[in-house]
Chains A and B, each alone.
Chain A
Amino acid sequence: MKRLVPFVVALVYLASLPAPVLATPGFGFGDYLWFQPGSTNLNGTLRRYDNFSFLGSTTAGSGMGNQYSTCQTNLGRLPSGWYDSANGHMVDNKNGTAIDGRAWGLEDKVCNGGSTLRTELFIHTEETVSNGQNCTSAPDDPHCWEGTFDYASQGCVKVSHPTSVSTLHTWWHSAAIGGAHSTAYTNILYVSTTGPPS
C-alpha cells in the first residue's frame, strides 16, 4: 500500500495542473484583446491575453476628437461590450476601399444607451495591402502612419505601424493563440473602461 502513495501524490499533483486548452482566439479560451478607452480618443490601450494572462499592451485609438458619444456614428468610439470577429474576419492583405493590409473585422454593435448601430468596424493600422507604407499624399495618407493623429478613427480601433500592428499580428498567429485568417471567432475583443467580467 505504501508503495502506491508516491503514485497517488504524483496523480494528485498532475490533477492539480490546469488542463491544456485548445489554442483558439476568444474569451472562452482566455485568448482575447481588451480595448480600454483613454482620456481622449487617441490614447486608449489595447491589451493582449493568452490563457487569461496579460501579455502586453499597446496604445490604440478609436473615435474622432473627444467627447462624442458612441451613438454618434462616424465620430464616437466603438461601443462597449464583446465583439466577435466579422467583416471578413482577420486578413493580412486586405484590399479595401478605405482600409488595407492587416485588419481584424469586428461585428456590428448597438451603441451605448441608444439604438444606433455601429458598423464597418475593424482593428487596423494605416498601411498598404502588402503591409508597407506609402506616404505620398499629404497631410494624411491612409497608407502611411504619420503620427499620433493617425490613432483617430471613425469608430475602428487603430494601432500604430509598424511595431504595434506587427506585435498584434504575431500574437494572433502565435501557437498559443492560434488565430487563423478569415475564420469566425467569438468574443475576441472586449471594449470597456474596466476589464471583462469573469
Chain B
Amino acid sequence: MRSVFENPINLLARLIDGVCELCSTNLDTAVRAVPIPKIGDHLQPGAPGSCPTMSLWGQSSAGGRPLPRPVHLDRREPNGTDWRIVAQDVCCGSRQQSVAMRTQLLVLSLGLTWLAMMKTPRRQFLKLVGQFGVALSKQRLVVGIAVLGVWSLSCGDVATPFNGPQGQSPTTVTQFDATTSTTESSDLGHVVEVVFGSSSTVSSEYMVVDRQLELPTSDGGEASSITLTAEPHLPLGGALVPSVVPDQTGSALFYTATENLLDIEAVAPGESWGVPTIRRFDVATGADEKVLDGGYAPTISHSGLLAYAQDVNGEYRKEDGHLTRLAVLDGSSATIWTGEEEARFTPYGWAGDILIAYVTGEGESLSVVALDGPGQLRQLSAQGYIGAISPDGTQVLLIELTVSESGSLYSLIKVVNASDGVVVATYEPSRDPDFAVILGYGGDWKGQRAVVLGPGGFAVFDIGASSISPVGIFQLSFEKSEGALSPVWLLDDSRVWTRAMVSTDKGFAIAGVECNIVRIECANVSDLVSSDSAFATVGNMSRPQP
C-alpha cells in the first residue's frame, strides 16, 4: 500500500482537499513500542510545574510507512509515578469525502477530455482561459486533464489508510497512561489480583441471579435457595441502594420490581416506560405479593417502618425528572414525610428512627438529607455520598469532594451525628497520598471498621470515637475489568464482599468477589454470569439491626 507521503499525486490531492485532520491509525502500536520513559529521562528541561515534552520517532504498522510521530509527554500525575503520553499523527479526509470528491473529479475530467477533443469548444475554452491572462496551449490542456484524470483514479489510496467506518474521521489524538508502578503495593495502596475460578454457587445472599438468591441460616448451616416471583429491578437508585431488602427480623424480603416495563429508547418523552412496584416475599411460606404500586427502593427500620420513594406520577415517565416524595408505611398506612416538597428523593436507610435519604439533582449531583418525621427534613451534606450508617444507628459516614492545592479532586471522609448533623470526625487524606482518591458510596460499617467503594475496588477505614484512620485502598485487578460495583459489604474485620464486572465478547458479566484484606487476596465466590440477569443486590442499609 502506498502512503500519501510516498505518492506526490496523493499529496497534491491532500493539499487541494484542504481537509487535513489529525488521526492515529495504528498509533497505539507505534507508541507502545517506544520504551516508557522514566522520570527524568529524555525530557527537555522545563520551568517548574510546566509540562515536560519530548519528541520520539515511531514506525507505523500500517504498511510500514515511516511517518514522523511527535510524542508529547503530557503531564506528570500527582503521585509522581504515572505519565500520560499524548501522541498524534497527521493524515486527512474521510473515506466518504474522498470517494465523493474522486467521483466528481473523474466525471469532470472525462467531460473536459471530450471538450478538448472537439475543435470548436476547445478553441472557445482556450479563448476563455486566455482572457484571464493564462497562456494555455492544446498540449498543456491535454496534459492537465490527463493529470486530473490520473489523480482522480489514484485518489483511492488516500482513503485506504483510514480504518474507521464510512462517514467518520479517524481518531484525532490517542492518549493512554504509561503507568510505571500500578502493580506495586505501598503502605496503604494495594492492587489485588482477583483469582477467577469455578464456584459452587451462582447467586448468593447478597446477589440475585435470575430471581434466585441464597438465604443464610441462623446456625451457619447450608444456605437455602429461594426464587422471587418478579425480577428485582431498580433503575432509579439501584446503584445507591440494594434492590432487595430483608426486613428487621429476616422473615421477609421487600424488593422493587417494574411492571409494564418498556424499552426506554423506544418511548417518547413524557410517556410511561414502567410502573414501579414494591413486593414482599415471605420467607416461611414462599408467598410473594405486591405491597404497593408507584413506589420503589424500600428500606426497613429496626421497628418495622418501611420507607420508600413514591413517584409523583405513580409511574416512570421518560425525561420527566423522576420526582418523588418520601413515604413511610406503618402497617397499611402510608405517610408522606417530605411534605409538599418534590425532588428526586431516594431513601437510603434508617439511622435508628431517623430516615437518611439522597436527593439527586442536575447532573446527577447528590446531596444527603435526614428526616426526623413528617415535614422534618434536614440537610446532612450539600454534595456528598453516604458511606454507611454506624452499627448503632447514631452516626453516618459521609464522603465529600474537595480539591488539593495541586488541583486534584479527592474525597474527604466525615462522620456526623444523625440526630443533629454535627461532625464528630474528619479524615483529610492529603497526608496519605494513596487515599487522595475519589471514593464512592454503598459501603458498610461493622464494629470499628468501615468500607466504601473505591476506584476499581474499595477503601477500608477504622473509625474511633473522634477519629478516622485509613486501613487500605484495594484496587481489584482482573482482565477486562469494568471495575467493582456497589455495594461493598464488610463480612468481618478482614473480609470484604463486592462485585466484579467484566467486559466479555458477549457483553458484560458479574461475579461476587470476596477479598481478604490481611492476606491481600481476592477470589470470586460466585460464578461469572451475564450482567443482564445478575444486577440486583441484597442488603439492608438501615441500622441498628437486631
Contacts and interface: CB of A to CB of B under 8 A. Distances in A.
Contacts of A149: 403, 407-409
B183 interface: no
Nearest to A18: B100
B516 interface: no
B104 interface: yes
A34 to B, nearest CB: 7
Interface in A30-47: 30, 34, 36, 38-40, 43, 45, 47
A160 interface: no
B40 interface: no
A67 B475 contact: yes
A108 B175 CA distance: 28
Chain B interface main SS type:
mixed
B429 to A, nearest CB: 13
A117 B362 CA distance: 14
Interface string A123-164: 010000000000000011000001111001111100000000
Interface string A59-102: 00000111111011111100000000011000000001111000
A113 B94 contact: no
A68 B535 contact: no
Given A64-B409, A152-B409, A38 B483 contact: no
B172 A57 contact: yes
B318 interface: yes
Contacts of A76: 483
B164 interface: yes
A197 interface: yes
B116 interface: no
B111 A69 contact: no
B107, B166, B168, B456: most-surrounded residue (chain A CB, <10 A): B168
- Top 4 A-B pairs, shortest CB-CB distance: A113-B508, A54-B169, A65-B438, A67-B456
Interface of A: 5-6, 9-10, 12-13, 16-18, 30, 34, 36, 38-40, 43, 45, 47, 49, 52-54, 57, 64-69, 71-76, 86-87, 96-99, 107-108, 110, 112-122, 124, 139-140, 146-149, 152-156, 184, 194-198
23 contacts: A13-B104, A13-B107, A13-B108, A54-B169, A67-B456, A71-B239, A73-B364, A97-B362, A107-B319, A110-B235, A113-B503, A115-B233, A117-B264, A119-B364, A120-B360, A139-B402, A140-B401, A140-B402, A140-B403, A147-B407, A152-B409, A184-B269, A195-B165
Interface of B: 19, 21, 84, 94, 96-97, 100, 103-104, 107-108, 110-111, 114-115, 121, 164-169, 171-173, 175-177, 233-240, 264, 269, 318-319, 322, 344, 360-366, 385, 401-403, 407-409, 437-438, 440-441, 453, 455-456, 475, 481-483, 485-486, 501, 503, 507-508, 510, 531-532, 535
